[in-house]
Amino acid sequence: MSASGARRWPYPRILAHRGGGKLAPENTLGAIRLGAAMGFHGVEFDVMLAGCGTPVLIHDETLKRTTGGRGEVARTPYGTLAQLDAGAWHSRPFRGERIPRFEDAARLCRELHLWANVEIKPATGHERRTGEAVARAAHTLWRGAAQPPVLSSFSPLALAAARHAAPELPRGLLVGRIPRHWRELMQDLECVALHCNYRALSRRLAAQIHAAGYAILAWTVNDRRSARKLFGWGVNCLVTDALDRVGAEFR
């Protein structure tokens, strides 16, 4: 990475998606440990609020896919979530993994010297509340850290709330397709990076984003050819599910 690129993105160049990509049950402490064991220096994971307001790591608004449980995360207290098995769906070795609290994941990241991209994943109707809660927790959990996490979200409302709650923490706007008014959104939310589906990028668009002063994080890149192409365009960071294929050679 060039000196200007390093200033724009002083974080790891490649992140393990949801902790351990496809090699571990997503958004669990076991996944984060696996990412670290495979030599990754940064991880990405999702944070949502349980029914009691506790920030927890989970992607879906409902419990069925990754726990076999029933109901909505936003209506279920953490005491109930903590009893669910969040690893058995993936494979036998991860049976017994639990839905971790955000604070548990943050402490593990700091213990393992892992940088984190924290995706604020609000349940519908909880955008502002989730943005505020996750930002405040991150402010406390990474106090004194050399590199605080970047807070990202698809929700401008959640990012705006995070900016208000912890303005010193860097933010990234998540998008699938890159909207025409991306500059206005980035300016309004005071983001440092645009986090986009790598298929939405072109060399020309990447150059425009960099020229505007923003870093680029591309997701979810699972083959070496695409990774080389994107880094050739100056993309600052990639998120991957394929930890065994897109890994050490790109760090």
- Contact between 56 and 72 under an 8 Å Cβ cutoff? The reply is no
Q: How far is CA 57 from CA 116, 178, 200, in A?
A: 13, 26, 27
CB atoms within 10 A of CB 95: 13
Tokens of 217: 């994080």
Annotation says 210 is catalytic: no
**Contacts of 1 by beta carbon, 8 Å cutoff, 6+ apart:** 9, 13, 236
- 165: part of which helix (H) or strand (E)? helix 156-165
Give the separation between CA 238 and CA 176, rounded to whole angstroms. 14
Query: Which DSSP string do the residues of 45-74 spell out, in sequence order?
Result: EEEEE-TTS-EEE-SSSBSHHHHS--SBGG
- Choice among 41, 59, 126, 210 that is catalytic: 59
Annotation says 17 is catalytic: yes
Closest among 107, 109, 165, 158 to 131, alpha carbons compared: 158
What amino acid positions are annotated as catalytic residues?
Answer: 17, 59
